[in-house]
Amino acid sequence: MLVLRLLNVVAPAYFLCISLVTFVLQIFLFIPSMFRDPSTTPLFSPALLHGALFLFLSANAMGNYVLVIQSSPEDLGKDLNLGKGAEVADWLDGSRSPGSALPSTHFCRLCARVTQRHDHHCFFTGNCIGSRNMRNFVMFCLYTSLACLDSLVAGMAYISATLSMSFADPLAFLTLLPHSISQFFSGALLSSEMFVILMLYLWLGIGLACAGFCCHQMLLILRGQTRYQVRKGMVVRARPWRENLQEVFGKRWLLGLLIPVRNVESDCRRQKGK
């Protein structure tokens, strides 16, 4: 438990550090050096267009990241009558009356609260993912993977021009790291260039991981399930996939796809239910 609590603090700091390094490399290194075209007007220059694209992806990723943290799942434990001397964890483990349990509830020991429609605990946000922040989590994974892909392409273009090498062969990227390590220790490669090469593989790993999270989460949303339900083998009521999507993304899904916003409609339905 101590290791998990430490990871819950270190992982968000690690993500923010990687985001800051990526922003600095893109704005102050890749874009000024790789997107120069004197023949175009400043308004439609490649540097400005690529910078606008990167800022759009980064703003959506960080905006949804903040909303995932701010839109914490509601603590249902304080509203439940668990009985005198009853522990929340015991109640969820089934030692209490089965009729008192709400569907898809889970007690997170890291957050110390009971949340409805619990999906999982995200260490990179230090928060549980539930009904209130599921849409922002999916958008966060989507735009993080796109930002990493954009940084990967720009970084490869920078390394290709700096080291005069071609990535036409797919094996060139796979052999880039061991070849660069040998050149770095022999003194033929600068530390700044080696750092960019290491960031290429980091962007590839983070981008693939976030894309996998996004695709897996969308599949569960279409089925109307959560990871916690799948892990526990819970049976969910079959509904049309459109209703499952609307429950998570709301009717104004296009607005949430373009800018980071809260799912106001789900909050309104929750207040009407109360």
Catalytic residue IDs: 122
Q: How far apart are CA 6 and CA 9, in angstroms?
A: 5
Alpha helices in 121-175 (DSSP H): 134-163, 170-174
Query: Are the C-beta atoms of 135 and 117 separated by less than 8 Å?
Result: no
Q: How far apart are CA 52 and CA 274, in angstroms?
A: 43
Q: How far apart are CA 258 and CA 36, in angstroms?
A: 28
State the pairing for strand pair 127-129/120-122: antiparallel
Query: Are the C-beta atoms of 117 and 131 separated by less than 8 Å?
Result: yes
Query: Are the C-beta atoms of 105 and 92 separated by less than 8 Å?
Result: yes
